[in-house]
Amino acid sequence: AQTVTQSQPEMSVQEAETVTLSCTYDTSESDYYLFWYKQPPSRQMILVIRQEAYKQQNATENRFSVNFQKAAKSFSLKISDSQLGDAAMYFCAYRSEGSDRGSTLGRLYFGRGTQLTVWP
Amino acid sequence: DTGVSQNPRHKITKRGQNVTFRCDPISEHNRLYWYRQTLGQGPEFLTYFQNEAQLEKSRLLSDRFSAERPKGSFSTLEIQRTEQGDSAMYLCASSLEGGWETQYFGPGTRLLVL
């Protein structure tokens, strides 16, 4: 089974600074998707950014970017120009990809999360 | 598109009682997932529907748990004879088959079993 590890239970950053959240995963598959989700306190989980394993180019969404190292099975999230609204729990997630659409490859495997605090 | 909705948002029950949660996915999404999230943990997969067919159940889903998705629309998750260990946040997500299949999550139902 796939496992996702987030080794930083908590991180903090000063407003306007940059922070990087780490994520590693274990898989024997060659094709898969990786996601970062954000879960603000008492609010629902929302997608921050996603990456396809077969794409070498790192995904970018405004202030959010990833450093995807397939060989190292690493998928870190960089938040630039941090804002107070970025404070949340961040989850890294893995999803298999396959040709069998009737299979259960759609499930997400989550890490335990990193709680990000943003200081003014 | 009003997003994924879940009801109730909070549920407090006594041990041994039955509870039922409802999830309304994004209307055009044919896949629906249930996850459970306990304090300090990431969400864990429980079960998954493609249209009305339940295609997989996790080992976490004991025989006290049952889920349905009649007509491939909303879904219900029932827990019979609740135990204190069932206390958790129950999350529902939906996706559209094909491509990214990004899962969009609802706000969750927080269950407390006394």
Q: Is residue A102 predicted with pLDDT exceeding 50?
A: no
* Residue in B with minimal Cα distance to A35: B102
In degrees and rounded to multiples of 5, residue B85 shows phi and psi of -70, -10
Structure tokens at A111: 């890490």
| Closest CB to B107 among A44, A108, A109 | A44
For residue B8, whether the previous peptide bond is cis, meaning omega lies within 30 degrees of 0, is yes
pLDDT digits (tens, 9 = 90+) for A10-24: 999 999 999 999 999
pLDDT digits (tens, 9 = 90+) for B60-104: 888 999 999 998 899 999 999 999 999 999 999 999 887 778 899
Contact assessment for residue B59 and residue B46, using Cβ atoms and an 8 Å cutoff: no
Give the largest CA-CA distance in chain A. Answer: 48
Q: What is the mean pLDDT of residues A63-88?
A: 96
Does residue B27 sit in helix, strand or coil?
coil
Contact criterion met (CB < 8 Å) for A107 and B55:
no
Query: Could you tell me if B47 lies within 8 Å of chain A, comparing CB atoms?
Result: no
pLDDT at A65: 97
pLDDT at B87: 97
Burial-class residue A73 by CB neighbours within 10 Å (0-12, 13-18, 19+).
middle
Query: Could you tell me if B105 lies within 8 Å of chain A, comparing CB atoms?
Result: yes
In this structure, of A83-87, A103-107, B17-21, the range with the lowest mean pLDDT score is: A103-107
Interface residue of A45, A89, A109 to substitute, partner B, most B CBs within 10 Å: A45
pLDDT at B85: 94
Does residue A96 sit in helix, strand or coil?
strand
d(CA A53, CA B42): 22
pLDDT at B57: 86
Nearest-CA neighbor of A19 among A74, A82, A67?
Answer: A82
